[in-house]
Structure 1
Amino acid sequence: MAIVVKSERWLGFLRWLKSRRVPKAKLVLADFADSGRGLMATRDIEAGEAIVDIPESVLITRSVFLDSLAREGIRADQEWPLSEHQALTLFLVSQRLFPEAKWAPYVAMLPTEFDSVASQLPEELARLLPSDLQDKIKEQRHKLKQDWTAGWDFLKNIDRASEYASMDERLFEWAWLAVSTRCITLESTKNKTMDCTIALAPMLDFLNHSLEAQVETGFDPTTRSFKITTRRPYRRGTEVFISYGPHDNSFLLAEYGFILKNNPYNHICVDREFDNIALPGERPDFRSNVLRILEQEGLKGDYTLHASEASYRLMMALRLRVSTTARDFKDVLRRWYQVQRGERSTVSPENEAAAHETLLQIIDRLEDHYRLNVDECRAIAAARLERAAFDYGSWCVEELLGEHLEMLLALRNTISARG
């Protein structure tokens, strides 16, 4: 059951779309019980029909921000270049500080906060996340700080710093996250016809993600608009979706602030666990040699576990790691290369058994770690529920850890069944 949004902000936004000559879509903003706020079909939509068609004049790109400066006599594009993300961030900041009628109805519709994005979670929850997601959070926070500095350097260089004096880190972060979570990629359906590669697309960015969505997207140079065409029909009163791509829940939580139930792309990254595992009798010089070989062969890192199997990369790396204690390492290495080339299936029965034993050790440690983290996350969620309403961020963390535990159990059962 969906509740149609009828706020004055939404109605004003629709009037704004009409004034900007955006083709009327068979869509209305609604609140859905399972997916939150999204777009609902007001009439049946057939396969092959355009869901949205956003004219180029309504797309917000780096050029829009730089052109606004050029109208004031500031030629900033050559002397003080900004990345597209930085430019769009400063554009949204400018619209908050100096609202323009041209864009105000759209900016008013943007979320006021992005507190479920992984980098925005409180530290007590963030530290419970899987190691690869924690690394992603660090990267994002570092990038945000870099862009904050670059933004101020740019404003100082064009003598606009005093006008932006009220831009604090919180406002910049809001704008930065709005761009991160809502921008689209401007891929042409025919050829490259735009200088910019990302944009904010009013109306389009209200569409939620679904793995079942079947769409064609891209900038059409003939109509000079960004179109999304559905390859499947939608009935009136149902939510209309697009696909953000084949991403696992860790990626979705980091980039967009949500997760999907039963996501088939889920996996567990075990790069840190592979690096940290201690093998009996493994000499440091042999370990360094193994890591060098793996890097030379393009097999260093990106080690993953799935519900049905460990990745090829991980198993090849484990086969080599457990070989460091072998008496004749050169002979083992020769056979390892043969496995890599597909000339044999295993290095040896003993090597294969040792690799799987090490794999089970990794699974054991992760299971123990995730169970403790799930318990702690539940305690945090319960405490928050006593103080306020349901906390979506803590739910996402608990679900993500629970999914990882289920994958580990399924993989353990698969390994046991194979003997």
Structure 2
Amino acid sequence: MTATQPPVRPPAVTPVSPWALSAFWFGTAFHWLLLLLILMPADVVRFVGEEQKGSYLGALVAVGAVIGLVLPPIIGARSDRSGRRLPYIRLGLAVNLAGLAVMGFAATALAGVGGFWVYVLGFMLVQFGNNYATAPYSALIPQLVAPQQRGRYSGVMAMLQAFGQLLGAVAAFGLGALGLPSWASFALIALFLLVPALVTLRGVPAHLDRVEGAEQAPKLSWAQLFAYAPFFWVFVTRVLFALGQYSVQPFLQYYNADVLRQQDAGTSTSIMLACIIVGSIASALVGGRMSDRVGRKPVIYVAGGLMAAAALLLLVAPGFPAALALAVVFGLGFGAFTSVDWALGSDAMPSAGSYARDMGIWHVAFVAPQLSSAPQGALLDWGNAQGGNLGYTLVFGLAALFFLAGVILVRNVPDRVHERAA
């Protein structure tokens, strides 16, 4: 495996505001938190009942993950060949909004397993459109951001994502308190996805919608890409951190109901998510800026350790207040990790001629672990059937192991990749 980097042509200065460049991430963060962590778990229970909720929710997440696994590299490669990013964002956004409409219709007007399959169809459209848009969108960071500024830009992106998630948690609380119909929640998601997307589309000038000199840049095959050491180890460690996240995240609402014995599990989950997000906001911008000075890996060591410790301690939390304190600790780690994640990934991109394809492949490292939600959901149901909330012990314990493995293996990422790129 080689660590020699092919020639790239990074920009000397960054021509786009970090806030405009990352605005769409704000919208997608709001979108996925409210949809994946609040609406979908509750809707699945209404469709299929309590006894099979873990299996059906895990299967639904896995269906979406298959799309996210296959589509980004394909669309990324097409974007590289066309030399354009923004048209793909526009089309993907339109399909995403159509899928939300189908899910809202199913959740409001249909019931039973038949309604669930219409709901699945809408979710597949959501996943297709969102991945169609975000694969080329992901290429804008390595394409437009100077290497020495990537930590700062990644930190701004992480902070906007955290604010989007916080707003999603607050919106979930408000929607629940007002007792609004399901379609109102999906309409709100659509609005908060559309407006930030328009900010990004207007904030990236048309003349920058193509990396200069991309036609002459080398294009690595898939085998060569994974033989390139920085990319390989960044990919592997991102897989491990995502596995840790998806061992816990889809099942938080059930954890609040079954382990913490919360009467209103949806509201309790929203409060817990708000604590995670407040912690992540506190660490996101600091972590990104610090990584520009001291390197990416030291920040990840601390972040992964905090997330692993919090996942384990949630199993023995004596009550809801203690769980909220641990949620803040987890958020501090998650915010720091997210702030460095995109900078580290951008540093590892080997060639300006295939930014979108390579970022799409790298994005697979985050999406593919969602497939684990199906077996993890089945494991959760099986373990809980044995008694003593064993299922939660198993899935939360696995999360801690994945985080620790990511911390250990990130040591293999060559130091200061971004300096060599510069």
Pick the structure with more helix per residue. 2
| TM-score under structure 1 length normalisation | 0.24
Name the TM-score, length of structure 2 as normaliser: 0.24
The structure where strand makes up a greater share of residues is 1
